[in-house]
Amino acid sequence: MCPSEPVKHPEIVPTGLDYVTSVESTEVVSIQENYDLWIDGAPTKPSTNRYFQTVNPATEEALSRVAEGGRKDVQKAVEAARKAYNGAWGKMQKSERAKYLYRIARMLAERSREFAVLETLDGGKPIKESRDFDLPMSSAHFFYYAGWADKLEYAFPGLGTDSIGVVGQIIPWNFPMLMVAWKVAPALAAGNTVVLKPAETTPLSALAFARLTAEAGLPPGTVNIITGDGRTGAELVEHPDVDKVAFTGSTEVGKQIQHRLAGSGKRLTLELGGKAPHIIFDDAPLDQAIEGIVNGIFFNQGHVCCAGSRLLVQESVFDALMDRLKLRLRSLRVGDPLDKNTDVGAINSPAQLDKITRLVEIGQAEGATMYQPPCELPERGYWFTPTLFTGVSQSHRIASEEIFGPVLSIMTFRTPAEAVEKANNTPYGLSAGVWTTKGSRILWMADRLAAGVVWANTYNKFDPGSPFGGYRESGFGREGGRHGLLPYLEGGW
C-alpha cells in the first residue's frame, strides 16, 4: 500500500443523473440587427460604412452586424475622450467619479443575467461560467475601483494622483465583458477617459456596456467603444492623442504594439500569453488537485491566458493522478453553452479551432500520447474534445506554445529543483500552480517560480483586489488590486 493510493477504476463511470437539457432562456436579451460605434455617448455610424458579422460559435448563426471603425472614427472617438478628459470627467470631483463607478457596478449586477446570456451567445462560453464568474466579477471590479477613485492619494504615498489622459484599450475575446471591467474600471477611477476596442468575434457585451454607461448618466466621451479588427486596433494604438495604451491579448500582437509605440512616449501596459506550469507533488491533496487541473485547463475551453497548460507531475504520483484525471474527464459535459449543465462550451472561432487542431496534430506527430474521453460533439458550431497528452517533453511544441484551447500537456519530474527548472523554462511568466501539503515547500516554490500569479493548492482564482499580470514575455503592468491603479497614474508603470 503506497501512500498515494494508486487508483484503478475498472467499472466506475461518472455519469450525472441523465440531466435533461436545461437551457437558459435568451428572452432576457435583445440583440440589435446592427451596431454602430459608440462615440461621445451615442451610436455613431462608421466612416467606413462597413459592418461585419458576429456569430454564435455554438451554432454558427449570425447574431448581429457590427460597425468596422476606421481612422476617422478613431479620430472622433479620441476627440470625444479628450473632450471628456478636459471637461466633465476630468474636472469632476473624485468622490463623484466614485459614485458613477458604484452605479455602474450596481447596474451590471442588476442586469447580470442579460449580460451573461449575451456573453455566452457571442463567445461560446458555458452559461454557468458567464453567470457565476464573468458577470459577478465584472460588477465586483467596478465596485472595488469605485472605492479607490476618491482615495488615490493613499494608494501610492508620494506618487501623486495625476491621471494620464486618454487611454486606448484593446481587449481579447476570451472574457469580453470581464476585460471591459478590468480595463475601464481602474482607468476611470484614476480619472482617465477611455477608447476601448473589443475583439472582433465578441463585441456585443462591450456595446451593451456602452449603453449601460449612458443609462448610468456617465458623461459622454468618458467611455467610447470602437469595434473592428486588428486594423482598427492599430489605428487606436497609433493615434497621436492617445496617452496610454493597455492591451490584453497574444504575446505576438503585444510585441507588435510595443514596436509601434517605440519612441512615441506613450505609456504601455501589456497582459499577454502564457504557458503556465501546474506542478503536482506526491503529497498533494489529489482530488482537489484534480479539480485544480481540470479548472486550470478546461475553464472557458482553455481560452485563458493563465491556463495551467503544462502539467508537471512528480513521478511517484503519476499513475495515481492520471487514473483520477482520466476518470474526471469522463464527467465533463461538452456542448450547448446555454445549457446550465454544460462544463465545456464552444471554441470561440473557426480560426481558433484550426489553431488548436493543428497543434494537437503536431503533438501526435511529435510522439506524445493522446487521451480524449468519449464525447459526443454537436454537429454545428466549433468544438474540441477535452484532450490530455502524456509522454510530453519540454522540447515538444505542445509543451512550449500557447494552444489556448482545452489541451493539457503532461510531463513528469523527480525533485523540487527539477520542477522549478522545468516550470521556468519558458519565455512566459504569467502564472503557475503548485500542489503540496508541505507549507515550507509551497513558500520555497513560490519564491522561485517566475510568474506573476502563483496559485498554491488552488488554481484560476481571481479577485478585483488581487493583482494579476505577468513576468517576462507575459507582459508588464498589473490589473486588479492597488497595483492595478499604477498603469493609470502619472509616474506609475
Footprint on residues 11-50 left by another protein (CB under 8 A): 11-20, 22
Measured from the CB atom, the residue of 14 and 217 that comes closer to another protein is 14
x/- letters, 371..390, toward another protein (CB under 8 A): --------------------
Q: How far is the CB of 12 from another protein (least distance, A)?
A: 5
**Alpha helices, DSSP H, located in 124-191:** 127-129, 135-149, 152-155, 176-189
- For CA atoms 477, 483, 487, 490, the dihedral sign is negative
Catalytic residue among 24, 305, 473, 479: 305
The number of beta carbons lying within 10 Å of the beta carbon of residue 116 is 27
Copy the grid coordinates of residue 309: 497548460
64-83: contacts with another protein (CB under 8 A): none
292 binds another protein (CB under 8 A): yes
Cβ distance to another protein smaller for residue 8 or 72: 8
Catalytic status, residue 305 = yes
Site string for another protein, 119-148 (x = CB under 8 A): ---------x---x-------x--------
SS3 287: helix
Q: Which entry of 79, 271, 402, 473 is annotated as an active-site residue?
A: 271
Give me the torsion for CA of 62, 67, 71, 73, rounded to 10°: -160
Q: Which is nearer to another protein, 52 or 371 (CB)?
A: 371
For another protein, the closer CB: 360 or 419: 419
286 lies in the binding site for another protein (CB under 8 A): yes
**Helix H or strand E encompassing 197:** strand 193-197
Radius of gyration of the chain (CA): 22
Kindly state whether residue 7 participates in binding another protein, applying the rule CB under 8 A. Answer: yes
Shorter beta-carbon distance to another protein: residue 29 or 432: 432
| Binding-site member from 171, 199, 204, 272 for another protein (CB under 8 A) | 272
Return the beta strands (E) in 251-378 as ranges. 267-271, 277-280, 310-314, 369-371
Report, in Å, the least distance between residue 252 CB and another protein. 10
Query: Minimal distance in Å, beta carbon 131 to another protein?
Result: 9
Instruction: Supply the minimum distance, in Å, between the C-beta of residue 202 and another protein.
Output: 24
Known active-site residue 2 = no
Residue from 27, 33, 259, 374 touching another protein (CB under 8 A): that is: 259
Map the footprint of another protein across residues 446-485, applying CB under 8 A: 446, 451-458, 461, 463, 465-469, 471-476, 478, 481-483
Site for another protein in 326-345 (CB under 8 A): 331, 340-341
Residue 287 found at the interface with another protein (CB under 8 A): yes
Q: Shortest distance, CB of residue 193 to another protein, whole angstroms?
A: 20
What is the smallest separation between the CB atom of 23 and another protein, expressed in angstroms?
9
C-alpha cell at 297: 485547463
Site track for another protein across 297-326, x = CB under 8 A: --------------------------x---
How far apart (Å, rounded) are the C-alpha atoms in residues 120 and 177?
11
* Phi and psi angles of residue 405, each rounded to the nearest 5 degrees, phi first: -155, 180
How many Å from the N-terminal Cα to the C-terminal Cα in the chain?
Answer: 54
Cβ-based nearer residue to another protein, 228 or 492: 492
Q: Which is nearer to another protein, 240 or 262 (CB)?
A: 262
277 binds another protein (CB under 8 A): no
| Distance of alpha carbon 276 from alpha carbon 266, whole angstroms | 30
Half-sphere exposure of 390 (CA within 13 A, CB side): 13
> How many residues contact another protein, by CB under 8 A?
87
Quote the least distance from Cβ 466 to another protein, whole Å: 5
Q: Is residue 231 a contact residue for another protein (CB under 8 A)?
A: no
Q: Is 437 in the site for another protein (CB under 8 A)?
A: yes
Please tell me the distance from the alpha carbon of residue 257 to that of residue 249, in angstroms, as a whole number.
11
Instruction: Give the residues across from 280 on adjacent strands.
Output: 313, 435
Report the residue number, 330 or 355, with the smaller CB distance to another protein: 330
Grid cell digits, residue 193: 477617459
The 154-193 contact track toward another protein, x by CB under 8 A, reads --xxxx----------------------------------
Strands 193-197 and 42-44: unpaired
- Looking up cell 462544463 gives 343
Q: What is the 3-state secondary structure (H, E, C) of 71-113?
A: HHHHHHHHHHHHHHHHCHHHHCCHHHHHHHHHHHHHHHHHCHH
Separation of alpha carbons 107 and 14, rounded Å: 40
| Position 250 contacts another protein (CB under 8 A) | no
Asked if 255 touches another protein (CB under 8 A), the answer is yes
Q: Which is nearer to another protein, 35 or 148 (CB)?
A: 148
Length of the chain: 493
| Phi-psi region at 124: left, alpha or beta (left = phi > 0; alpha = psi -120 to 50) | left
Q: How far apart are CA 37 and CA 470, in angstroms?
A: 32
Q: Alpha-carbon distance 379 to 179, whole Å?
A: 30
Shortest Å, Cβ 132 to another protein: 7
Pairing of strands 277-280, 310-314: parallel
Q: How far is the CB of 90 from another protein (least distance, A)?
A: 18
Kindly state the smallest distance separating residue 367's Cβ from another protein, in Å: 29
**What are the residue numbers of the active site?**
271, 305
